[in-house]
A and B are shown apart, each in its own frame.
Chain A
């Protein structure tokens, strides 16, 4: 005897929202473990962390300053260098904050039935996310060029243990965060596709709302990463 069961369309917006929040909790705890490690090592190596953060700026600034300016005095260079890398971090922070606003606005637009505006806002979010990743790529590239990368001999021979830990955590945490930005972008693109083909709309907004929640999570993590790595002077 053969029977095919036809399931009615089980659309439960509240249920899928809870599901996404629960998943977000796991991501919070995942990064939470890293923040725990950061807080322990910063507590144990406060000066090394300060020093490393300054070097982070120094190396970043070194390259940029050299390529932009030809002549300067050491103090101005140092100062500019510090400002420059905090600047990159701040720019990235602003980028993510704006992108959070745009994706939030897109849910309003969807509910109002403003399909074109919804899609525009989503594209803006994705573009901002990509710019963030490009900035990150250059930031990391600069460090690699100066011998600052996980397991580098240069670090082991020239830096103190606290500084090595700082950079280890820096790469792991910003790297894992960048991976999550990628995931978030993919989710938004999937939602984009589903809106264009009509499966996501004002009466069935969950995919966009949940993609938005995930994106805000990525923003939340950066909100804490920024002061902990870029605002130690």
Chain B
């Protein structure tokens, strides 16, 4: 394997000045690394908005009855919180930021297959975000349907649904184009010698994710268009008064939105699969099994959507089928957990911040996943559907999964992306605070759900009060942890110690190029010459 000199002929991507200078040079750049940062900063802003909405909700729930807002406002809060977090943060999340930055470098390419399309994807993303935010600021009231836009309420409500619906549609387009770009990139731009069986695991997950983005998103696209048409023209396709079936809406919505959670989690798992071997200084256990399980999750994930609808009014046959399939799809995820733990076994553990995040990822992901099995069991689901238990489940698995993996990846690849080391003491402090806050915030929701507290209500019975207080306090600790983490990363990006080419002794190709990388990544395209797969220590 060729190791290019850290002193490149090219200037770093951060410093490069092409036709345009300054900010203009960034928003017109087709360099995948700059586009990754564009996504990262836009997502950060939107994440703060979404997090503030979450804090607002928790503040309302610190006591029964009205605390700081009316019921209608609470409905708007959880709707916009969901739309932002799902469509603007966790779905684009890892692919848009780390996929964009790392994929070409990890496969030995100078950029993605369609760099201009990549930049357009970001513009489309921003347009979608603006449309959604506009639904809050203008018009007849912020959407209040929940991010799931269920019919018939979504076409009956007087609130400002159309911009939100179109915004979600446009955001879907961005997702599709990113997936398309990555699939072609991986098919066509792998460097000589990098066969499919030598492809590192993060690119593998980006490949599987790309297919889901491509094939699932159009379904929700057409569904959203139909809701819009229902609002404007009253075509009747989901309106019971005209013969439509609201359950059909739910089918169509979840045919996308379930695979969407695999869009969220597969790249997260891919990042963890990169981090654990590096910090165990040991080859990944079961490379093939992880690849196969990635593809299996992507595939079987298409067939389980009905588990969001067990109590909606589907046939019994349907319920049984979806329950069985849901249990099946858990298997490949469990296989990955075994692989990760086995990788660490007898490894030479380097206890650094990314490793803390990776290990805590496994912990919270397992809780989230196992609670998913509880929900996948029909008899339990009847009792737990639409309770706080579901809210706990998806926050553990999505925030816990994608979120923790995002922070793990952020710290892992920070030296490469910014050419500086973060301050580990503050990073670890932030992690501790975040972890404790996270568990305190979401843990009680499992209990509350089992005791019968419904979700999406701004009020609750007195017996749920103390658990809610703990949860709200947890939200403050967690957010404080987030502040510590972000401030540390911002300051380190400016003042941190200069980062070496390979601070963690990683084995994949991004650790052979300078930190930060030059504009075209490599002076010469490398050639993969190892006999074995990546991660050979």
Contact = CB atoms under 8 A, between A and B. Distances in A.
Max chain B CB contacts within 10 Å: which of A22, A41, A151?
A: A22
Nearest to B177: A23
Interface stretch (B15-23, B156-164, B386-394): B15-23
Nearest to B238: A37
Tier of interface size on chain A? 35 or more
A5 B520 CA distance: 9
A25 B214 CA distance: 7
A36 interface: yes
A169 interface: yes
Interface string B199-231: 000000000000000111111011100100100
Centre residue among B113, B229, B243 by max chain A CB count within 10 A: B243
B174 to A, nearest CB: 13
B229 A5 contact: no
Interface string A1-33: 111110000001011001100110111011111
Contacts of A5: 10, 16, 18, 519-520
B202 to A, nearest CB: 21
B234 interface: yes
Majority DSSP secondary structure for residues of B touching A: helix
Instruction: Pick the most buried of B19, B176, B235: most chain A CB atoms within 10 A of its CB.
Output: B235
Contacts of B180: 19, 22-23, 26
B472 to A, nearest CB: 40
B334 interface: no
A36 B252 contact: yes
Contact of B218 (A3, A33, A37): A33
A29 B218 contact: yes
Nearest to A17: B184
Interface in B97-117: 113-114
A150 B229 contact: yes
A45 B218 CA distance: 26
Given A26-B176, A165-B243, A172 B226 contact: yes
A171 interface: yes
Contacts of B221: 30, 33
B244 A151 contact: no
B252 A33 contact: yes
Interface in B1-42: 10-11, 15-19
Contacts of B218: 26-27, 29-30, 32-33
B442 to A, nearest CB: 34
16 contacts: A3-B10, A19-B113, A22-B179, A26-B218, A27-B218, A30-B218, A30-B219, A33-B222, A37-B248, A151-B235, A165-B237, A168-B235, A169-B235, A169-B237, A171-B235, A172-B235
Interface of A: 1-5, 12, 14-15, 18-19, 22-23, 25-27, 29-34, 36-37, 40-41, 44-45, 150-151, 156, 160-162, 164-165, 168-169, 171-172
